């Protein structure tokens, strides 16, 4: 788990976080997670890893993935709308990629809505590539999902993550 500059703090999601997580979820996705989903993920799903990002003690973002063999599949990532544009979505993604590297996993995949430009830009910043399309994947809007993958989680990519981390932490400390 990354240790960002205080008062930011990353830690595993717990049951006590679920009200705050649900509030961010409702503000972030066209169709929020079904009731009980995160309870199940935390309590029952041994493949699931979820983290929250806090500012002091306030939960302002969360992210999660499933570890299946040597593949990490990002299931969700969101920052609170009032905290966007500050590098915090990036912090959540970077943390997740570092966790993936240390498992160790080799592959990172995710699906993103075709219309979700901001998220796609975030993934492109981390050198993800579009490798496929799932037609009409999202039942609420009938939208396609773009399937994206990170570069292989090797030493070269880890060095890139280290450089990104240094830059991001300087930004979070107000030095950039």
Ligand X SMILES: CC(C)(COP(=O)(O)OP(=O)(O)OC[C@H]1O[C@@H](n2cnc3c(N)ncnc32)[C@H](O)[C@@H]1OP(=O)(O)O)[C@@H](O)C(=O)NCCC(=O)NCCS
Interface residue with ligand X among 42, 99, 108, 119 (CB under 6 A) is: 119
Q: Can residue 122 be called a binding residue for ligand X (CB under 6 A)?
A: yes
Interface residue with ligand X among 4, 10, 90, 128 (CB under 6 A) is: 90
Q: List the one residue out of 48, 55, 40 whose CA is nearest residue 12.
A: 48
Options 52-60, 85-93, 98-106, 152-160: segment touching ligand X (CB under 6 A): 85-93
Q: Can residue 145 be called a binding residue for ligand X (CB under 6 A)?
A: no
Q: Can residue 19 be called a binding residue for ligand X (CB under 6 A)?
A: no
Q: Can residue 28 be called a binding residue for ligand X (CB under 6 A)?
A: yes
CA distances from 118 to 29, 121, 129, 149 (A): 13, 5, 15, 16
Q: What is the largest CA-CA distance in the chain?
A: 43
Residues touching ligand X, count (CB under 6 A): 20
Q: Can residue 31 be called a binding residue for ligand X (CB under 6 A)?
A: no
CA count, 13 A, side-chain hemisphere, 88: 24
Which two three-digit tokens encode residue 168? 């991001």
Interface residues toward ligand X, by CB under 6 A: 28-29, 77-79, 84-90, 112, 116-119, 121-122, 125
């Amino acid at each position: 788990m990354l240790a960002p500059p205080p008062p930011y703090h990353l830690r595993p999601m717990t049951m006590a976080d679920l009200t705050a997580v649900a509030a961010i979820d409702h503000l972030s996705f066209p169709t929020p997670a079904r009731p009980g989903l995160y309870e199940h993920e935390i309590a029952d799903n041994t493949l699931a890893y979820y983290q929250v990002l806090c500012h002091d003690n306030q939960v302002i973002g969360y992210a999660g993935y499933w570890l299946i063999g040597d593949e990490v599949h990002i299931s969700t990532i969101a920052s609170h709308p009032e905290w966007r544009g500050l590098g915090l979505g990036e912090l959540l993604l970077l943390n997740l990629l570092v966790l993936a590297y240390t498992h160790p996993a080799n592959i990172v995949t995710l699906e993103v809505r075709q219309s979700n430009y901001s998220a796609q830009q975030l993934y492109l910043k981390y050198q993800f590539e579009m490798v496929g399309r799932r037609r009409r994947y999202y039942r609420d809007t009938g939208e396609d999902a773009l399937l994206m993958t990170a570069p292989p989680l090797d030493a070269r990519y880890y060095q890139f993550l280290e450089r990104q981390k240094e830059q991001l932490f300087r930004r979070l400390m107000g030095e950039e």
